[in-house]
Amino acid sequence: MSVHQTSTHSRTQVRREVVRKKSLGPRRLLLLRAGLAFAFCGLGVRLVYLQVFDHAHYASMSVEQVKENIVTTALRGGIYDRGGQTLAVSRPTSLVIADDFQIRHPASEALAMSPLVHVPVATLTALLSRKNSGYVVINGSLDLADGHKLSSLVFPGIVVENSSVRTYPDGTLATSVLGNVNASGSGTTGLEYEYQSLLAGKTGVTRAFVSASGVNLPASRSTVVKKAQPGVGLELTLDSSLQYVTERDLARQLKLEDGLTGLAVVMDVKTGEILADASLVNTKTQAGALGPVPSWGKNVGYPGIDQTINNLPFSQAYEPGSVFKVVTFSAALQAGLITPDTIFPVPNSVVVGGRYFHDAETHGLEHLSTTEVLAQSSNIGTYEIGKRVGETGLLTQVERMGFGSTTAINFPDQTPGLLVDASNWYASDQVALPIGQVDAVPAIQVLDAYNAIANGGVFVEPKLVRGYVYANGALKATPKSATHDALSPSVDATMVKMLEQVVLVGTGTNAIIPGYSVAGKTGTATIPFPGQDKLTNSYNASFVGFAPANDPVLSMIVVIQRPLNDIYGGAVSAPVFQQVMSYALHHYGIPSNGAVQKPLKGAAASIASDVT
């Protein structure tokens, strides 16, 4: 083939290729258009499917992103005294929250909102101008009326929610009993803690639409899914008037004697109901080796005298000293080993188990009757009686009189005490236990034992909650206190007569109440300390008793820890008993018994003779 022919052939091929490509262009365009049309159809179908057939599913998903089920707390139940006076109450309030990212004009909104939220304009402007959190609490306890008015107005980024605030109308009164609640509204101490689940009620559920910062979205509404159920309130056995007098007189004496702590409890003899329960600390007195006593930081009317955080009559164990001697005397009488007139030779001191024991005041050999031993609070005389009872009899009577067991009140942090038993009995305990040295017990147990004597020998469990108050106003009474026999009626009557002599001519004369017979016992117990035998010049001064002695209605204990100006139970604690009990007897209209009390000849003793 010639060159000319080859060239002609090549041009022909090129021409054919150009024609072929020209013919493919429209075809490709057509295919592209068809593909696009198909894709758009697919998208259309998908959109129709999403919008029509799967709309509910994706709408639900979008709502779930902003929907939140918020747990709403119930209104906390109130706490009342036996007469219905409010001691603690939760007041419904409004919680005002701002999403500061949504606030466009802080100054103008603050100016408009300030009168409603009761926050100064300058402070409110600063809060709304933060732009750094999305959740700013403007007022956590706004009055409901102002809250409702605020929520009805249009303030972008502002949300009003239901809330409440816990208040104690009587200030510091009975705080050591009531306790307190924390910022979230939960009880942390006292009855607020013990009855938390009951007082708190049952939470509800509210559905809201919120931003990522937790603030409700504009124009959205909250829906109550489940209503919160209000808490159940408590009606206590406390009498607010008597509680006030008890705290006042105890605080005054605690201040006067410069003591560290003071406690006082008044009980209804027959029912075991606690009518007053005072627990105070003198923050102006150095605690020293005893350690600090936590307080609420608000005085009760005397500078430095505060309510304690722990309720000391239940939570603090102490060596009771001579008030514990009632165990020894009642055990000996119950076993028929002595009578009130049995005579004992009483030396000034004895050595038992390698320990030296003595009476508070030096004396030669004396011959004292059982009643005189108790009235003069002789340690050695009590030991002579305890020897007849023996180890087993003493330990049994300690338990029978209610020592070593927590009360049915089950108060938070209550202690059962620390008692010696047969497994750790030492020879010296034959003296130490009868005079109240070796056992450590809470004051409520001491009062329970004497209350049993006041109640004809029948031990009755103490009681602090009288009934439950429901949201509809209904009141459900709590069960009566459990009881058990502690002493026979005859032994009990003898004990009452002997305890009357303690007050008439013994160490408890400062407890005498004109027109009423009083029975009781003093105690001045040296405070022990680990690593030492006793703390120097540190004592627990006690008085426990009941009135009227011929037909007891009220019992009471007073303990002042480490008084510095005077140390004796008869001088420090008995006057508080006299003041409070005198008020209580008249407050409840208890008539004067007019009984003629006959002081026992030879039973006279100085107030200082009861130191152990």
The predicted model gives 278-295 an average pLDDT of: 89
CA-CA distance, 459 to 448, in Å (whole number)?
7
* pLDDT the model gives residue 14: 54
Indicate the CATH number for domain 240-610: 3.40.710.10
* pLDDT the model gives residue 24: 58
CA-CA distance, 492 to 546, in Å (whole number)?
13
pLDDT beyond 90 at 407: yes
Q: Hey, which residues does 187 pair with through a beta bridge?
A: 181
* pLDDT the model gives residue 310: 96
How many percent of the chain have pLDDT more than 90?
62
The predicted model gives 187-199 an average pLDDT of: 96
Average pLDDT score, the chain:
87
Which of 35-39, 163-167, 295-299, 451-455 is modeled with the greatest confidence? 451-455
CA distances, 227 to each of 70, 73, 166, 185, 279 (Å) = 12, 10, 21, 18, 39
pLDDT beyond 70 at 302: yes
207-246: pLDDT as tens digits = 666 655 555 555 556 677 788 788 999 999 999 999 999 9
The predicted model gives 462-491 an average pLDDT of: 96
How many percent of the chain have pLDDT more than 70?
85
5-20: pLDDT as tens digits = 555 555 656 556 555 5
Through-space distance between the first and last CA atoms of the chain, rounded to whole angstroms = 145
* pLDDT the model gives residue 173: 97
CB distance 607 to 511 below 8 Å: no
* pLDDT the model gives residue 546: 98
Task: Write the DSSP assignment of 12-72 as a string of letters.
Answer: HHHHHHHHHHHHHHHHHHHHHHHHHHHHHHHHHHHHHIIIIISHHHHHHHHHHHHEEEEEE
- Domain positions in the chain are 68-234, 240-610
Q: Both tokens of residue 102?
A: 């949504």
346-369: pLDDT as tens digits = 999 999 999 999 998 999 999 999
pLDDT beyond 70 at 459: yes
The predicted model gives 550-568 an average pLDDT of: 96
CA-CA distance, 405 to 46, in Å (whole number)?
76
Q: Which has more confidence, 102 or 546?
A: 546
CA-CA distance, 121 to 169, in Å (whole number)?
30
Q: Which has more confidence, 193 or 142?
A: 193
Q: Both tokens of residue 275?
A: 């009518």
Label residue 426 by pLDDT band (50, 70, 90).
very high
* pLDDT the model gives residue 93: 80
Q: Which of 139-143, 176-180, 379-383 has the lowest average pLDDT? A: 139-143
- Domain 68-234 top-level CATH class: alpha beta
CA-CA distance, 231 to 190, in Å (whole number)?
17
* pLDDT the model gives residue 70: 61
CB neighbourhood size of 441 (10 A):
26
CB distance 442 to 319 below 8 Å: no
* pLDDT the model gives residue 222: 62
Q: In 353-412, where do the E strands start and end?
A: 355-358, 366-369
32-76: pLDDT as tens digits = 777 777 777 777 777 766 566 655 655 555 545 555 666 677 889
Residue 26's Cα: distance from chain center in Å?
Answer: 91
Q: Which has more confidence, 473 or 434?
A: 434
Cα angle for residues 177, 181, 183 (degrees, 5° grid): 160
488-527: pLDDT as tens digits = 999 999 999 999 999 999 999 999 999 999 999 999 999 9
pLDDT beyond 80 at 383: yes
